[in-house]
C-alpha cells in the first residue's frame, strides 16, 4: 500500500493544528463581531445544542445577517493577507527543495504558523485589536504556509517512491502512466518495477498522505468544538502553537533528508569576510552579497520551472497543462464551497451550536476514508481520469444537496454524496508527478503549489463575496455556484483522456513501423523506447557511453549539463558563451551524430 514515509507525522500534526485553527478563528471572529455590532455579550450555547438564533425574535434577525456579512468579509481579509505573499513564497520554497533539500520547504511554514497561532492566542486572551491578525497572517504567508509544507511533503513522498522503484526488480524501459497520466522514465535506473505497479504505488502513497490529512481534518474540528465548549477560545490557540513548535523540532532534528545530494548554501565572498577595516562597510557588503545570492537563487528556481516545460515535448506539455488546470479548478470548487460550511451552519434556519458543528466535522472523517478506499479500489480497475471524474461527480452532488439543506438531518446527510470528493486531489498530484522526471519533482510541485494558492485565493474572493451578497435571500447560492463550476474540470479531464488515447495510438503505430528497422523510437511524451529484442539501457550505460544515447535524449542531457555550468558560473557572461560554443563544437563535430540528430528529429516530428 505505497511507501511508508517518516514525513507522515509532520503531515498529521500540521493538519491537526491547521484544521483546528480554521473553524476556531471563524467562530472567534463571529463572537467578537457580534459583541461589536450588537453591543451585547455573545449568546452562549452551553445549555443547548443550537445557537441562540433559533430562539431570537424578529428584531434580531437583521443583526444576525450583519454579523454573518462582516464575519465573512473579515475572514476574507485575513485569508488574503496570508495568501497574497504565500502565492510567491510557496512555489519558490518548493522549487528550492530540489537543490537545498525538502526540509527547506517544510521548516519555514511551520515557523510561520507557530507565530500566527501565538498571535491568535494573545489577541483572544487579551481582547486585542483584530487587525493584528492581518499582520500575523501576512508574516505567516511570507514564510510559505500550508501549500509550501504540503508541496515539500509530496515531493518527499515522490523521492521515497523513486528510491523504492530503483531498488525493486524488473527491467528498464518506457514508463507509462497509469490511467490518465504518463511519465518520462528516462531517469529510472536499473531494476524499475513494471509500469502499472510503479504508477499505482505512487498514487496510493500520495493518497495515504491525503488520507492522513482527511482523518485529521475531521477529528481536529471536533476537538476544537469541545475545547470551545469547555474553556472558550484562547486555550485551543495555545495548544496549536505548542504542537507547531514540536513539529518544527521534529523536522529540524529528527527527519532524514530524502535527497541523496543537497547543495550547500553558498557563503559570502572572501573579500567581505576578510575585510575588517570598517564594521559598517562590512555589513553593507554582507547585505549586498546576501541580496545577490537571494536573487540568484530566485532566478535559478524560476529557471528550473521554465526548463521543465522547454525540455518537454509539446504533447507532454499539453497533458501537463491540462492536468494542472484541472487541479486548480477542482480546488477552486471544493475549497470555495466547503469553506462556507461553518458560517452556513451558524446561520438560520440551522442555527447550530459548537457541538453540532463538531459532530458534522467529525463525519468528515467518513468522507476522507471513503475517498482513500475509492482510490485504492478504483485504481485496480479504472484509469486515473475516470477516478477524477467520479470524484468531481461526488463533489457536485454533495454541494447541490448542501445548497438546499434546511434541516439538521439533511445537513448531516450531505456527507453521503461527498464520500468520494477527495479522490481527485491525490490522483491529480500523482498524474502530475508521473509527467515529470525525478529531478523535476520540486519544480512540478512548485507549479502545483502556485496554482493551488491562486485557486484558493480566487475561491475565497469569489465565494465569500458571493455569500455576503446573497445570504439575505438565498444562503445556499454559493454551494450551487460551486457545483456548477465543477463541470469545467470534468470537461478538461475528458479532453486529457482523449489526448492520451490519441498518443497511445500514435505510439503503437510508430513502434510497429520501427520494429523491423531495429532503431529506437522517441515516445510522444519525450521518453525513449528501446527496439524489440534489445535490452534497455540503464542510467549507468548511458553515463558511460553518451554517444549511444538517442540524439534527442543526448542533447537534452547536454543542455542540462550546460544549465548547471551556467548556474555555477554566475560571474561572467563570456564564460557561459565559451562553454556553450565548446560543447556545440564537440557534440556536433561528428558526422554520425549529425545524421542521428536529424533522424531523431524526423521521428519526434511524427510523434508530435
Quick one: average pLDDT of 310-323?
Answer: 89
Q: Is the predicted pLDDT of residue 499 greater than 80, yes or no?
A: yes
pTM comes to 0.64
For 252-289, how does the pLDDT look when each residue is reduced to its tens digit (9 = 90+)?
999 988 776 655 444 444 444 444 444 556 656 655 66
* pLDDT confidence band for 419 (50 / 70 / 90): very high
Which run of H or E residues covers position 1?
A: none
d(CA 479, CA 339): 10
> Are residues 592 and 477 part of one domain?
no
Handedness of CA 44, 47, 50, 55 (dihedral sign): negative
- Are 191 and 169 in contact, with CB atoms under 8 Å apart? yes
- Are 417 and 371 in contact, with CB atoms under 8 Å apart? no
CATH of the domain at 38: 1.20.1250.20
∠ CA 108-235-230, nearest 5°, is 145
For 551-561, how does the pLDDT look when each residue is reduced to its tens digit (9 = 90+)?
445 455 555 55
**Between residues 99 and 282, the one the model is more confident about:** 99
Residue 155 lies in a domain: yes
Q: How many independent structural domains does the chain possess?
A: 2
The per-residue pLDDT for 306 is: 83
Residue 516 lies in a domain: no
Residue 511 lies in a domain: no
**Minimum mean pLDDT range among 150-164, 353-367, 433-447, 525-539:** 525-539
The per-residue pLDDT for 292 is: 63
> Are residues 434 and 371 part of one domain?
yes
d(CA 527, CA 182): 10
> Are residues 603 and 467 part of one domain?
no
> Are residues 543 and 463 part of one domain?
no
> Number of H helices and number of E strands within the chain?
23, 2
Which of 435, 467, 498 finishes a domain? 498
Handedness of CA 317, 495, 91, 104 (dihedral sign): negative
For 340-387, how does the pLDDT look when each residue is reduced to its tens digit (9 = 90+)?
998 899 888 888 887 888 888 888 888 989 999 999 999 999 999 999
DSSP 8-state symbol, 406: -
Query: What is the grid cell recorded at 244?
Result: 507547531
The per-residue pLDDT for 64 is: 78
> Are residues 586 and 481 part of one domain?
no
* pLDDT confidence band for 501 (50 / 70 / 90): low
- Which of 319, 242, 339 is closest to 501 using CA atoms? 319
Residue 166 lies in a domain: yes
Percent of the chain with pLDDT over 70: 66
Question: Phi, psi at residue 50, to the nearest 5°?
Answer: -100, 155
> Are residues 209 and 153 part of one domain?
yes
Residue 320 lies in a domain: yes
> Are residues 490 and 593 part of one domain?
no
Residue 398 lies in a domain: yes
- Domain membership of residue 330 as a residue range: 8-51+60-170+194-258+295-498
Quick one: average pLDDT of 196-215?
Answer: 80
- Helix/strand/coil for 145: coil
- Are 182 and 500 in contact, with CB atoms under 8 Å apart? yes
Quick one: average pLDDT of 494-520?
Answer: 59
Residue 600 lies in a domain: yes
For 450-487, how does the pLDDT look when each residue is reduced to its tens digit (9 = 90+)?
898 889 889 988 998 899 899 888 999 999 999 999 99
* Residue 577: exposure state from Cβ atoms within 10 A (0-12, 13-18, ≥19): exposed
DSSP track, 382-397: S-HHHHHHHHHHHHHH
Which of 440, 467, 498 finishes a domain? 498
Q: Is the predicted pLDDT of residue 571 greater than 60, yes or no?
A: no
Residue 253 lies in a domain: yes
What are the distances in angstroms from CA 44 to CA 29, 47, 55, 229?
15, 8, 12, 9
Length reported for the chain:
608
Amino acid at each position: 500500500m505505497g511507501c511508508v514515509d517518516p514525513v507522515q507525522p509532520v503531515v498529521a500534526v500540521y493538519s491537526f493544528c491547521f484544521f483546528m485553527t480554521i473553524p476556531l478563528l471563524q467562530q472567534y471572529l463571529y463572537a467578537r463581531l457580534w459583541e461589536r455590532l450588537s453591543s451585547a455579550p455573545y449568546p452562549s450555547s452551553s445549555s443547548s445544542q443550537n445557537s441562540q438564533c433559533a430562539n431570537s425574535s424578529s428584531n434580531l434577525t437583521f443583526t444576525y445577517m450583519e454579523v454573518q456579512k462582516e464575519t465573512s468579509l473579515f475572514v476574507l481579509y485575513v485569508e488574503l493577507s496570508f495568501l497574497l505573499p504565500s502565492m510567491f513564497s510557496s512555489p519558490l520554497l518548493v522549487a528550492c527543495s530540489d537543490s537545498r533539500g525538502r526540509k527547506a520547504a517544510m521548516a519555514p511554514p511551520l515557523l510561520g504558523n507557530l507565530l500566527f497561532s501565538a498571535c491568535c492566542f494573545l489577541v483572544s486572551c487579551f481582547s486585542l485589536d483584530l487587525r493584528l491578525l492581518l499582520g500575523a497572517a501576512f508574516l505567516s504567508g511570507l514564510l510559505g504556509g500550508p501549500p509550501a509544507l504540503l508541496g515539500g511533503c509530496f515531493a518527499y513522498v515522490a523521492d521515497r517512491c523513486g528510491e523504492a522503484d530503483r531498488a525493486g526488480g524488473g527491467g528498464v524501459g518506457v514508463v507509462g502512466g497509469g490511467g490518465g497520466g504518463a511519465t518520462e522514465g528516462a531517469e529510472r535506473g536499473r531494476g524499475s518495477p513494471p509500469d502499472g505497479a510503479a504508477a499505482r504505488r505512487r498514487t496510493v502513497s500520495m493518497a495515504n498522505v491525503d488520507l492522513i490529512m482527511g482523518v485529521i481534518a475531521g477529528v481536529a474540528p471536533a476537538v476544537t468544538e469541545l475545547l470551545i465548549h469547555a474553556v472558550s477560545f484562547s486555550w485551543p490557540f495555545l495548544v496549536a502553537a505548542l504542537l507547531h513548535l514540536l513539529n518544527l523540532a521534529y523536522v529540524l532534528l529528527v527527519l532524514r533528508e530524502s535527497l541523496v545530494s543537497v547543495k550547500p548554501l553558498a557563503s559570502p565572498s572572501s573579500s567581505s569576510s576578510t575585510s575588517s577595516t570598517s564594521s559598517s562597510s562590512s555589513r553593507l557588503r554582507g547585505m549586498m552579497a546576501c541580496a545577490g545570492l537571494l536573487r540568484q537563487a530566485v532566478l535559478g528556481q524560476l529557471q528550473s520551472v521554465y526548463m521543465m516545460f522547454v525540455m518537454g515535448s509539446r504533447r507532454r506539455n499539453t497533458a501537463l497543462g491540462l492536468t494542472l488546470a484541472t487541479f486548480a479548478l477542482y480546488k477552486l470548487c471544493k475549497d470555495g464551497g466547503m469553506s462556507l460550511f461553518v458560517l452556513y451552519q451558524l446561520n438560520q434556519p440551522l442555527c447550530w451550536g459548537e457541538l453540532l458543528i463538531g459532530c458534522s466535522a467529525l463525519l468528515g472523517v467518513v468522507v476522507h476514508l471513503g475517498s482513500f478506499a475509492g482510490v485504492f479500489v478504483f485504481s485496480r480497475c479504472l484509469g486515473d481520469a475516470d477516478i477524477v471524474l467520479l470524484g468531481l461527480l461526488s463533489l457536485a452532488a454533495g454541494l447541490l444537496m448542501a445548497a438546499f439543506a434546511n434541516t439538521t438531518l439533511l445537513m448531516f446527510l450531505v456527507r453521503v454524496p461527498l464520500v468520494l470528493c477527495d479522490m481527485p486531489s491525490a490522483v491529480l498530484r500523482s498524474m502530475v508527478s508521473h509527467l515529470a522526471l525525478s529531478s523535476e519533482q520540486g519544480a512540478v510541485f512548485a507549479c502545483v503549489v502556485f496554482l493551488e494558492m491562486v485557486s484558493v485565493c480566487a475561491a475565497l474572493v469569489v465565494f465569500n463575496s458571493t455569500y455576503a451578497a446573497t445570504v439575505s435571500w438565498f444562503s445556499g447560492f454559493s454551494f450551487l455556484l460551486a457545483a456548477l463550476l465543477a463541470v469545467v474540470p470534468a470537461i478538461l479531464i475528458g479532453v486529457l483522456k482523449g489526448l492520451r488515447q490519441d498518443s497511445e495510438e500514435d505510439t503503437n503505430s510508430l513502434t510497429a513501423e520501427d520494429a523491423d528497422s531495429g532503431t529506437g523510437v522517441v515516445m510522444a511524451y519525450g521518453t525513449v523506447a528501446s527496439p524489440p529484442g534489445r535490452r534497455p539501457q540503464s542510467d549507468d550505460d548511458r553515463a558511460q557511453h553518451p554517444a549511444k544515447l538517442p540524439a534527442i535524449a543526448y542533447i537534452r542531457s547536454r543542455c542540462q549539463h550546460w544549465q548547471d555550468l551556467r548556474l555555477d558560473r554566475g560571474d561572467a557572461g563570456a564564460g557561459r558563451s565559451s562553454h556553450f560554443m565548446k560543447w556545440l563544437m564537440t557534440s556536433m563535430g561528428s558526422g554520425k551524430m549529425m545524421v542521428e540528430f536529424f533522424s531523431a528529429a524526423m521521428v519526434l516530428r511524427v510523434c508530435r
